[in-house]
């Protein structure tokens, strides 16, 4: 450290070439008396991926690009926190009761409560277990919260928390009971005050809906304002509404139930709530509400329907089990004529951490609809559909868990059933020549697998930047969804590379040569496997491009190839 006089003092001498400190992870207490720094405890293999930039703009010769990229099964670097007294200029030894057998993640969770404690998160490899650990300024540690879910913790999207200083408590979101619910955690620890509640953790919201986030806390009134999916029974389970509930679980009230759609809210200290909502078939509208949800005035809305977007049709039908409702949308070309018959294309992105089908008409979703739905429908004179099958998010853990160690399922049995149900009542949907499917990233994997496992229904696919073998892709997403340790026999079941010989249909593979999200080798290994199997397919690699090329207008030749691909498919010409 360097003091005000510019004098440097070494606080530690334990770093080696393999156990260095991370200068990006220095967390000081607000009074600047203490600091936590993460240090490498166990070095990993430090895998890197090397790409070739074939056509750099600033030189003639190709350029090698190398970057760190952990993959499933790798030996990874494990870091541990170190505590320092910046006044006494010394390191404080830390207890080790926080250690998990295999830390896959460790990250800051902030200093709290009068600068006396530091909190951080650690996750076990495979993401079945997660802990929030509390460290005091004497070096004592305790596990503040611990989660264990056998089929994986969605730590990026479901775990949320914040501290409430008035009561020495914190709210915490968890799926431990099958639904993402709010829990109240007693954090008091020998600090001269006793929390109003003596139990360490208690569920506040009930099961049956998934809480997305707590967006406002009234600490004096002890009320939580939160947004959640599936609270209003007569509406789509994907509609997000605002509700309030007291710390003790009483006083639950949905504040926006009279607005049928996905809600965006801002809660103000003056007792007012900005409320805007929309659906894919209903443009944005808004009102001003009080803290009880009563409408108290108009709210100006500056989000209008884009010129290159039309209102989609919402449709739901039972899925594979004949009872669980599956929800999706149907997008028509702007020149739609109900007396005509239109071929059907499905957009797919069956990642278990998302419910990807557009649900609303905010600007971000309209951009998505314009590029991946309306443009495709208009240019190819087709119907474009998408639905969220089992194995996707925000309908309870059991619904999502269908995908665990089962990514090849991808909700296909539900989505195929849904498309057939939609076509039964819409004579302008033509399924006689099969359905086309397209997607990027996880959706690229899904699109190709449609021609492997469901070629009786799908007859053509465009797979862009697909993670075609989950062992080639990034560590966290694939170990979360396919498990750790990596069992090759299990990972083989979801691999398009392993099952390339089963391909039946017309396929176009796309990839950017500089993709840093999904290793381009994933697509190239599929190309190799298809060549070995004697399969006919089309392939385009885009120099200088990163992750995903199918929906980017700047790649004109890609757009031309896609249009030709769907035109030939519609005309029964196959590749060409």
Cβ-based neighbours of 528, under 8 Å, separated by 6 or more? none
How do beta strands 282-290 and 295-298 pair? Answer: antiparallel
pLDDT of 287 over the 60 cut: yes
pLDDT digits (tens, 9 = 90+) for 146-192: 999 999 999 999 999 998 888 889 999 999 999 999 999 988 754 43
User: Can you tell me the distance from the alpha carbon of 87 to that of 28, in angstroms, rounded to the nearest whole number?
Assistant: 12
- Domains in the chain, start-ordered, CATH in brackets? 1-148 (2.140.10.30), 192-304 (2.120.10.30), 313-570 (3.40.50.1820)
pLDDT band at residue 111 using 50, 70 and 90 as cut-offs? confident
What is the C-alpha separation between 120 and 413, in angstroms, rounded?
41
Question: Is it true that the peptide bond before 485 is cis, omega within 30 degrees of 0?
Answer: yes
Residues 304, 285: contact at Cβ < 8 Å?
Answer: no
pLDDT of amino acid 194: 41
- For the entire predicted model, the pTM comes to 0.94
Residue 245: partners with Cβ closer than 8 Å, 6 or more residues away: 182, 204, 205, 223, 224, 226, 251, 252, 253
- Taking CB atoms within 8 Å and a gap of at least 24, the contacts of 453-459 are 453/408, 453/412, 453/499, 453/502, 454/412, 454/416, 455/503, 455/504, 455/505, 457/416, 458/346, 458/434, 458/505, 459/433, 459/434, 459/435, 459/505, 459/506, 459/569
Asked whether the beta carbons of 268 and 299 are under 8 A apart, the reply is: no
Question: pLDDT of 454-497, one tens digit each?
Answer: 999 999 999 999 999 999 999 999 999 999 999 999 999 999 99
Q: What is the DSSP string of 39-54?
A: EEEE-----EEEEEES
Summarize pLDDT for 550-560 with one digit per residue, the tens.
999 999 999 99
Tens digits of residue pLDDT in 192-228: 344 444 468 999 999 999 999 999 999 999 999 999 9
> How large a percentage of the chain has pLDDT more than 70?
94
Would you say 232 and 241 are in contact if contact means Cβ atoms under 8 Å apart? Answer: yes
Q: Contact, 443 vs 350, CB < 8 A?
A: yes
Residues in the chain: 576
């Amino acid at each position: 450290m360097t003091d005000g006089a510019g004098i440097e003092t070494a606080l530690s001498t334990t770093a080696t070439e393999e156990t260095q400190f991370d200068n990006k992870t220095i967390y000081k207490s607000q009074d600047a008396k203490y600091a936590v720094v993460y240090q490498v405890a166990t070095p990993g293999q430090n895998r890197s991926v090397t790409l070739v930039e074939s056509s750099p703009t600033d030189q003639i010769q190709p350029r090698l690009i190398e970057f760190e990229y952990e993959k499933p099964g790798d030996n990874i670097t494990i870091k541990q926190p170190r505590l320092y007294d910046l006044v006494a200029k010394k390191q404080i030894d830390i207890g080790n009761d926080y250690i998990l057998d295999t830390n896959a993640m460790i990250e800051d969770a902030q200093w709290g409560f009068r600068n006396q404690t530091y909190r951080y998160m650690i996750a076990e490899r495979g993401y079945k277990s997660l802990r929030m650990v509390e460290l005091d300024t004497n070096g004592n540690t305790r596990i503040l919260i611990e989660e264990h879910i056998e089929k994986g913790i969605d730590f990026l999207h479901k775990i949320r928390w914040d501290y409430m200083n008035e009561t020495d408590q914190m709210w915490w979101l968890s799926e431990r009971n099958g639904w993402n619910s709010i829990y109240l955690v007693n954090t008091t620890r020998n600090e001269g005050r006793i929390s109003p509640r003596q139990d360490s953790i208690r569920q506040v919201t009930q099961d049956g809906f998934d809480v997305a986030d707590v967006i406002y806390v009234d600490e004096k009134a002890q009320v939580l304002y939160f947004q959640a999916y599936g609270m209003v029974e007569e509406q789509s389970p994907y509609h997000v509404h605002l509700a309030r509930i007291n710390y003790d679980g009483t006083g639950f009230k949905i504040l926006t139930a009279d607005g049928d759609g996905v809600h965006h809210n801002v809660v103000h200290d003056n007792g007012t709530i900005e409320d805007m909502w929309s659906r894919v078939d209903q443009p944005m509208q808004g009102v001003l509400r009080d803290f009880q949800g009563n409408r108290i005035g108009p709210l100006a809305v500056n989000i209008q329907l884009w010129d290159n977007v039309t209102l989609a049709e919402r449709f739901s039908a039972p899925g594979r089990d004949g009872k669980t409702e599956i929800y999706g949308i149907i997008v028509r070309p702007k020149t739609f004529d109900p007396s005509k018959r239109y071929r059907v294309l499905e957009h797919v992105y069956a990642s278990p951490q998302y419910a990807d089908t557009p649900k609303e008409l905010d600007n971000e979703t309209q951009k998505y609809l314009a590029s991946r739905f309306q443009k495709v429908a208009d240019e190819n004179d087709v119907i474009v559909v998408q639905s969220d099958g089992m194995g996707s998010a925000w309908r309870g853990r059991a619904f999502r868990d269908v995908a665990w160690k089962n990514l090849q399922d991808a909700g296909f049995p539900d989505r195929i059933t849904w498309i057939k149900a939609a076509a039964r009542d819409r004579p302008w949907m033509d399924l006689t020549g099969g359905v086309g499917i397209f997607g990027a990233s996880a959706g690229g994997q899904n699109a190709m697998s449609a021609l492997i496992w469901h070629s009786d229904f799908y007859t053509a696919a465009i797979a862009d930047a697909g993670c075609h073998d989950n062992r080639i892709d990034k560590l966290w997403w694939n170990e979360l969804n396919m498990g750790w340790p990596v069992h090759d026999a299990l990972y083989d079941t979801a691999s398009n590379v392993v099952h390339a010989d089963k391909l039946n249909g017309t396929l176009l593979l796309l990839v950017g040569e500089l993709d840093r999200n999904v290793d381009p080798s994933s697509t190239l290994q599929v190309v190799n496997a298809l060549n070995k199997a004697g399969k006919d397919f089309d392939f385009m690699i885009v120099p200088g491009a990163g992750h995903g090329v199918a929906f980017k207008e700047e790649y004109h030749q890609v757009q031309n190839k896609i249009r030709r691909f769907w035109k030939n498919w519609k005309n029964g010409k196959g590749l060409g």
